[in-house]
Amino acid sequence: MSVAEIQDNKWEVQASKVQIMTAQGIGLLVMMTAFVLFFTWVAIYSVIGAFTDAKTMDFDKKQKVDADGKAIQGKAE
Over residues 10-49, the pLDDT tens digits come to 777 777 777 788 898 899 999 999 999 999 999 999 998 8
Provide the domain limits for residue 47.
Answer: 14-54
Q: What is the pLDDT of residue 21?
A: 85
Q: Is residue 36 part of a domain?
A: yes
Alpha-carbon distance 25 to 17, whole Å?
Answer: 11
Q: Is residue 9 part of a domain?
A: no
Q: Is residue 38 part of a domain?
A: yes
Give me the number of domains the chain comprises. 1
Q: Is residue 72 part of a domain?
A: no
For 8-76, give the DSSP string. HHHHHHHHHS--TTSHHHHHHHHHHHHHHHHHHHHHHHHHHHHHS-GGGSGGGTSPEE-TTSPEEPS--
Q: Is residue 66 part of a domain?
A: no
Q: Is residue 25 part of a domain?
A: yes
Q: Is residue 67 part of a domain?
A: no
> What is the pTM for the complete model shown?
0.51
